[in-house]
Structure 1
Amino acid sequence: MIYDSEVNKENLLLKISGMQCSFCVESIQKAFHRLDGVSHIGVSLSHEETLIQYNPEKITPSKLRETIESIGYKIRDPDKLKSFEDDRKELREQQRQLFFAAFISVFALVLMGLSWFNFKQDWIPIAMVFFTLVMIFIVGRSILQMAYASFRRGIYNQHVLMEFGAFGGLFGGLIGFFVQPWPMADFMGAAIFITTYHILSGYVSLVVRTSSSQAIQKLMNLQPDTARVLKNGNEIEIPVEEVQLGDLVRVKPGESIPVDGLILEGQSTVDQSLVTGESMPVIKAENNEVIGGSINQYGSLIIQTTKIGQDSFLQQISRSIQEARALKPGILQVVEKALKIFIPGVLFSALLAFLIWTVGAWIILGEIQFQTAIFATLAVLVMGYPCALGMATPLAMIRGGGIAAQQGILMRSGEAFQVFKDVRIIALDKTGTITEGRPKVVTISPVDGYDDKTLISLAAAIENNSEHPLANAIVEDAQNKFYSFNNQKITDFEATPGLGVKGTLSDTIVLVGSPRYLEQEGITFHEKKEFINRLEEEGQTVVGVTKNSDLIGFIGIADTIRPGVIDGIKRIKNVGFELVIITGDNERTAKVIAKQVGIERVISEVLPDEKADRIRKFQQNGNRVAMVGDGINDAPALMQADVGIAIGTGTDIAIESADIILVNNEISKVVDAYEIGKTSYIKTKQNVVLAFSFNGIGIPLAITGLLHPVFAMIAMAASVTAVLVNSFVGEIFSKPNHMDNQIELKKIEMTSMTLSISTIDNQTSIGILEKALLQVSGIEQAEGDLFSKIIVINYHKEEVTIGQILETVQKNGHEITEMIF
């Protein structure tokens, strides 16, 4: 089925509802691999989707969709994020199914009890048959459909195993109409309870996936996919997909740029770090190109659309993510590994029981014990379903996920729990993950006769009139040190784009700019050139300051290491992981940062699809790889990695592509996630052993023909109880640990501030402002209210100043009218 013509290959991405386990993945893959025209099929359980590579000349998309639906799954819109209401609807359907199953189980138990006490009524056997048929063919219809679709494709999963047990109970009960004495009600009851427990395990799995999905949705401030287009002198807001080539789009300060294009009017600085990985914002003016997904920081821009659809940058990223989904290595969970052995074992035991009481009995006893053979065979099939199996992984995930959530970690998939223990390489993005992603003053070097305060204050007084990111870094540094710099009027202010600024302050001409700018203005500093070169080699941008042509000193500005990163990386290395930085930034800056944090291996100047390719090459060498990132450009690599880890304040597309989210943005939490994943995997294995242990005892007894079907129900109750106790009893009786105390202490030390902002005019602007504030180190929470036009900020006063908070709000184009503590 694999064909050579690259021209004829197309991709189809489908979102799927109803997947529960890795065997569901295998069922889908086998179904498609038998279709002529399908060359590759990639299925992601945690993201509930499949990417199909096919030849449109041999098979149509509608046929591919029909194949999914024919094996019992549902398809939803691939371009829409699964909403809270979608999750709630799916949960309600499962709850309804579980309710009917529980209702029937209670009635069945009552009827079984009557038969145990020799309450003989002709209607009881008929009622038991009726309830069993309703349970298998109506309440459990979806399970039956998936089991049948799997069975006919030679896939023996837990759905198939459950149906073997259920039909074994049904046929065992029907025999009671013809053979007496016979435990008819008990066989029927076993079929009903097996189906009920299977529905319960499916519901538990859905609860785990839904709660994780909802937590991620709360984390993601999704912006409407719209653009402001100028047509016939009017400004109209339309969906981005309706923007045409050549359309003029207005982008206001603080907004995400919706399209790739060329600036026709305006000048601004654009933060491209989440798109390209560049740490420093870039000045953009007329005739400069901009990339969709970048953040317009200050000025208003009018952009002419130059790329749309498949040619746009974000669509290229989307294609890279799809490719990563398709090429990501598969992971078979421990439950499915056990089932691969257990299911053939059950079927073999059933056949063995039949042969022992037919052929064996004829050889030894001289006659075939047909009734005992039937009883023993059906008893083996009934006992063969480990009812707690379906809850073994979900309950371990609930336990591990709860512990992780307490520490600011969201673990969204069972695969992440299992595979993290095998990870050997951790790749880290630089900008926004290791570094702050914004410039700060790191070096202050006044010449003789001047001090730090004079140098910074003078520079800040002039730069306060500029909107350049480097100017903001200098002003922020002066504010943090409470230097006075804005009490004098600046005249004759003049900015030279890309070089520097100058102005007059109390009859004193002050220049602030690059060394090249100072040289153009006739300033000499030969003795400082070696010092400047050293700073630049360290990745710093050097700014000189002069006063009436006299050199005052130099200021070094750079993207700084985020607090806690160095200690976090030491902790990761101590576990034994190999670390590598993969960044789109330039080689010199990347190596400087790597040296500062103690990472030897650096891969720089890579495009987003190249990041995913690098991860893929590590995997092809037999390594399990984790990727930590926060930007749009990291999304393909996060998807490709065996474990994708997103920073909580990162872009929506990065969060959606990841398996684990670090809500508190602390790199050291990678180790916590690893330890939790490892212990959860151990707990899963223990649960699987417990789930199988009762069956391991019951099946040999069933082969003897002496095991009553009631034992199957006792085994169900006991195995579920054992799994529940193993998963949670330690947590219920454990005392609060030091981590809980640290979290509580952190909450106590937090300071709250309420800002009244008159310029809040829509929910999108609130989302953008909240996201900008959460990217400031020290701010833990930011929640805006459109109706009252306020935003409440919770922050640590030891880590962030009021000036930084106010400046962040103002940089996003808002006006503060009142401040309340």
Structure 2
Amino acid sequence: MSTSRKKLLTGEMVTNAIKDSFIKLNPVTMMKNPVMFIVEVGTFVVLLMTLFPGYFGTEGSVGFNLTVFVILLFTVLFANFAEALAEGRGKAQADSLKKTKTEISANKVLGSGIKLVPSTELRKGDIVIVSQGEMIPGDGEVIEGLASVDESAITGESAPVIKEAGGDFSSVTGGTRVVSDKIRVRITSDPGESFIDRMIALVEGASRQKTPNEIALNTLLTSLTLIFLIVVVTLAPIARYVEIELSIPVLISLLVCLIPTTIGGLLSAIGIAGMDRVTQFNVLAMSGKAVEAAGDINTMILDKTGTITFGNRMASQFVPVGAHPERLVGEWAAVSSMKDETPEGRSVLELMKKQGLTYDEAMAEGGAFIEFQAETRMSGIDLKDSRKVRKGAVDAVRKWVEAQGGTVPADLGTQGDAIAKEGGTPLAVAVDHEIFGLIYLKDTVKPGMKERFDQLRKMGIKTIMCTGDNPLTAATIAREAGVDDYIAESKPEDKIAVIRREQAEGKLVAMTGDGTNDAPALAQADVGLAMNSGTVAAKEAANMVDLDSDPSKIIEVVAIGKQLLMTRGALTTFSIANDVAKYFAIIPAMFTLAIPQMEALNVMRLGSPLSAILSALIFNAIIIPLLIPLAMRGVAYKPMSSTRLLQRNLFIYGLGGVVVPFIGIKLIDLVVHWWV
């Protein structure tokens, strides 16, 4: 997929688009675009008048009628070509994805044994074992083990990623390959419902729906078409009254020139190209509405761990409090982590080995493991001898100890603050009513995040970081990353609350995250961008998935969304301005002989009424293919205020939309008038 960013079009895409241009002439298909459907109907009527001139009494106008028919036909074909070309880019991406959908054998776990079965027989909930060199047979979650996985078939990136049980990096995608170790995977989708299947359907365009903005613009264009249809129909009796003969082909030509055919022919291509541009950046958008909403984002909520930071918070030090020795802190930290499959839990045991410390592994046997919960912000184990061991957020462990009648060491707060000020995360370790010390977890802000947030600020987007860390740690990370605001010690409901608060103020909100606890907020946000390395729950809740798992990619998504809206607005402005110019080209030329006073409006001084009509019609046809590259690539976006942006586009595309037709139609008229 990365190679597709480098090349806008290929010869094969163009060839297929030309074929599809004729296939799309089907009236059932054309009716979805009212403006171009009107043009097609007019083309058919002129064709009949060309083929059967005697029946219509137009024997002397066959040459003119044939010329009009050819120009109108190319107008429709060029519009179809623009849409087909945009769709072709998505189909090309889908073809590359289909290559990854090969028949894979799976080692399905059945009771105490393993059975080799085709991947198509796997169902949601099945357990499979995938070893080094084997393909992962379906979407799933790692429930045991750790492995390096090559996801280049999906993301286009060659560097393998680590997938492990527990935490936010347990999600795996069917069609990727395990390059080291062995993992046990629980399948999370049935055949035909995998992540790749959804990607193929989306990039092929099968699931694309028109966005509200596009529907509104279609309604406007249809209304303008009806208005000009009424105007052209009323021109016929007016022309007869002033003794000017306007044939049906002339009236059809006039209608096609006046209705917004330029934007009507490019509107679908603009929307499809917008979604395709997102895909070029390895972001899968579940709908065009999500891309469009990204262009109007006011606030961005970012989860800290795995989004702003690398998310690999690892134990780096045991910090004793009170009179307890460091060795004892490590022992109880290890006991609390023996059944903890999260990266943090495993890092505690690794730190023990690194420091040469020992602990009684038999102590945890038969104990009940207490999993981490967002509400309690603690995990641990209840031992057989009734002792309860906990590790977790300092304030949560403090409250737990106090609730059992215990006392809190005087230096707990001081030591915790010291860790937090250094950007680390302190986890308190306690047994029943006594706190023994802290585990110093280190995390790192991803490179370039500060510069990326500066870009968002220039776009007028406010950034808010959400984290379960204490206020001091949160403040340190927020300052280092350069976000505008932060929420410390946040729970899933806190993220939803801040999103709803911003939405209640009329703002559109984007949210990025990768964990199961981010899923509710991702679903609530107007634009939810989940990391592909994250959990299945996060990806299902979001309306976009970043295949590269780069949270800063949201900046590209926002820029593409703004680019989509700008492109649509710019070309609409250009199209309407075109109509104004064509009005001054055709109407005065047609009526000047009968109404000499209209000579004042004949500023273009076109050769004759006939050449004026043909020149405007030819310009109307060729402007569509000339604008296809702009519709596909999008109007260049530069961070600036909405007012400056509006003024810039009105000047370029509004004024340009008036000036270009005057020049173009005049040049074409010089040739046409000589030829006629």
TM-score range, shorter chain: 0.5 to 0.7
**Superposition TM-score, scaled by structure 1 size:** 0.47
In the TM superposition, residue 202 of structure 1 has moved relative to its aligned partner by: 1.8
Name the CA distance, whole Å, in 2 between partners of 1:679 and 1:722. Answer: 15
Matches within 5 A, 1:179-190: 179-182=58-61, 183-190=64-71
Which structure dedicates a bigger proportion of its chain to helix?
2
Q: After superposition, where does 1:272-287 map in structure 2 within 5 Å?
A: 272-273=167-168
Deviation at 1:159, TM superposition (A): 4.5
Tell me what 1:35 maps to: none
Partner of 1:642: 526
Classify 1:239/1:405 alpha carbon distance in 2 versus 1 (closer, same or farther; 3 Å): closer
For residues 713-746 of structure 1, the C-alpha deviation after alignment (integer angstroms, 9 at most, x for no partner) is 3332134325547977999xxxxxxxxxxxxxxx
The number of equivalent residue pairs is: 514
- Distance in 2 between residues matched to 1:300 and 1:346, nearest whole Å: 61
After superposition, the Cα gap between the structure-2 partners of 1:446 and 1:664, relative to the gap in structure 1 and judged at 3 Å, is: same
- Give the direction of change, closer, same or farther, for the CA distance of 1:573–1:301 in structure 2 (3 Å limit): same
Alignment pair present for 1:606 and 2:492: yes
* Structure 1 position 200 matched with structure 2 position 81: yes
Give the TM-score, by structure 2 length: 0.55
Name the aligned partner's letter for residue 713 of structure 1. Answer: I
Q: Aligned AA for 2:228?
A: S
Equivalent in 303, 307, 313 of residue 433 of structure 1: 307
User: Are 2:297 and 1:423 equivalent residues in the alignment?
Assistant: yes
Report deviation, 1:193. Answer: 1.0
Distance across 2 between alignment mates of 1:681 and 1:181: 48
Q: 1-side partners of 2:417 and 2:43: how far apart? A: 76
What does the per-residue CA deviation read over 1:479-530, in whole Å, with 9 as the maximum and x for residues that have no partner?
A: 9xxxx757x9x79764536669xxxxxxxxxxx99699xx9xxxx9956555
Map residues 511-660 of structure 1 onto 2, 5 A cutoff: 528-531=411-414, 540-542=426-428, 555-557=439-441, 562=446, 564-565=448-449, 568-569=452-453, 572=456, 575-580=459-464, 593=474, 596-597=477-478, 599-601=485-487, 604-606=490-492, 619=503, 622-631=506-515, 634=518, 638=522, 641-651=525-535
Are positions 1:496 and 2:371 aligned together?
no
For residue 196 of structure 1, report the CA deviation from its aligned partner.
1.4
Provide the rounded CA distance (Å) in 1 between the counterparts of 2:414 and 2:103.
46
Are residues 395 and 339 of structure 1, via their aligned partners in 2, closer, same or farther at CA, if it must alter by over 3 Å?
Answer: closer
Distance in 2 between residues matched to 1:93 and 1:302, nearest whole Å:
39
CA shift at 1:157, angstroms?
3.2
1:271 is displaced (CA, Å) by: 0.8
1:742 equivalent in structure 2 = none
Given the alignment, which residue of 228, 234, 246 partners 1:349? 228
Match of 2:19 in 1: 99
Q: Which runs of 5+ in 2 are unaligned?
A: 5-10, 145-163, 172-179, 199-207, 370-379, 382-388, 402-406, 592-608, 637-676
Aligned to 1:372, what secondary structure does the other structure show?
coil
Please report how far the alpha carbon of residue 698 of structure 1 lies from its aligned counterpart in structure 2 after TM superposition. Answer: 3.3
Distance 1:99 1:701, change over 3 A: same
Partner amino acid for 1:642? D
Letter in 1 for 2:231: L
The residue aligned with 1:209 is 90
1:167 aligns with 2:77: no
How far apart are the structure 2 equivalents of 1:617 and 1:528?
38
1:146 partnered with 2:29: yes
- Provide the C-alpha distance between the structure 2 equivalents of 1:426 and 1:410, rounded to a whole number of angstroms: 19
Aligned mates of 2:580, 2:347 — CA distance in 1: 68
d(CA) in 2 for partners of 1:594, 1:417 = 32
> What is the match of residue 626 of structure 2?
721
Offset at residue 424 of structure 1 (A): 1.6
Q: Do residues 230 (structure 1) and 110 (structure 2) align?
A: yes
Alpha-carbon displacement from aligned partner over 1:728-783 (angstroms, at most 9, x marks no partner): 7999xxxxxxxxxxxxxxxxxxxxxxxxxxxxxxxxxxxxxxxxxxxxxxxxxxxx
Q: In the TM superposition, what is the alpha-carbon distance from 1:712 to its structure 2 partner?
A: 1.8
CA change 1:460–1:381 in 2 (3 A) is: same
Superposed, which structure 2 residues align to 1:72-151 within 5 Å? 98-99=18-19, 139-142=23-26, 144-148=27-31
Question: Aligned partner of 2:108: which letter?
Answer: R
Counterparts of 1:420 and 1:491, CA distance in 2? 52
- Structure-2 separation of matches of 1:188 and 1:435: 62
The CA distance in 2 between the partners of 1:591 and 1:330, in whole Å, is 46
Q: Which residue in the other structure is 1:712 paired with?
A: 617
Which amino acid is 1:625 matched to? V
3-state SS of the aligned residue for 2:307? coil
Q: Does the CA-based 8 Å contact 1:173-1:187 persist in structure 2? A: no
Q: Which structure dedicates a bigger proportion of its chain to strand?
A: 1
Contact 1:580 1:602 survives alignment (8 Å) = no
The answer to whether the aligner puts 1:381 opposite 2:269 as a matched pair is: no
Partner in structure 2 of residue 271 of structure 1: 166
Q: Secondary structure at the match of 1:423?
A: coil
| Residue type at the aligned position of 1:380 | L
Cα root mean square deviation, aligned: 6.4
Tell me, in whole angstroms, the C-alpha distance in 1 between the residues paired with 2:52 and 2:509: 55
CA distance in 2 between partners of 1:412 and 1:344 (Å):
30
Q: Give CA deviations for 1:621-656 in whole Å, capped at 9, x if unaligned.
A: 533221212345656754664333233533567567
In structure 2, what is the Cα distance between the partners aligned to 1:526 and 1:637?
37
Q: Distance in 2 between matches of 1:718 and 1:188?
A: 17
Does the aligned pair in 2 maintain the 1:162–1:195 contact within 8 Å?
yes
- Residue by residue, what CA displacement relative to the aligned partner does 1:691-718 show, whole Å, maximum 9, x if unpaired? 4544443356555383444642333213
SS at match of 2:510: strand
Which residue of 543, 555, 561 corresponds with 1:671?
Answer: 555
CA contact (8 A) 2:303 2:465 kept: yes
Question: In the alignment, which residue of structure 1 is the partner of 2:671?
Answer: none
Q: Distance in 2 between matches of 1:231 and 1:525?
A: 48
Q: Give the drift of 1:382.
A: 3.4
Instruction: State the Cα deviation string for residues 8-59 of structure 1 (Å, max 9, x = none).
Output: xxxxxxxxxxxxxxxxxxxxxxxxxxxxxxxxxxxxxxxxxxxxxxxxxxxx
Distance 1:215 1:593 in 2: 42
- Give the one of 694, 698, 701 matched to 2:582: 698
User: Percent identity, aligned pairs only?
Assistant: 17
In structure 1, the gaps of 5 or more residues are 1-83, 85-90, 102-134, 151-155, 264-268, 277-296, 319-327, 501-511, 546-550, 732-821
d(CA) in 2 for partners of 1:427 and 1:329? 26
Q: Judging changes above 3 Å, is the alpha-carbon distance between structure 1 residues 444 and 719 closer, same or farther for their aligned structure 2 residues?
A: same
User: Which deviations, in whole Å up to 9, do the C-alpha atoms of 1:80-124 show, x marking residues without a partner?
Assistant: xxxx9xxxxxx99995572386xxxxxxxxxxxxxxxxxxxxxxx
1:392/1:440 Cα in 2 relative to 1: closer, same or farther (>3 Å)? same
| Larger deviation, residues 561-570 vs 621-630 | 561-570
How big is each residue's C-alpha offset from its partner over 1:101-160, in whole Å with a ceiling of 9 and x where there is no partner?
A: 6xxxxxxxxxxxxxxxxxxxxxxxxxxxxxxxxx6xxx4454x11344x5xxxxx63443
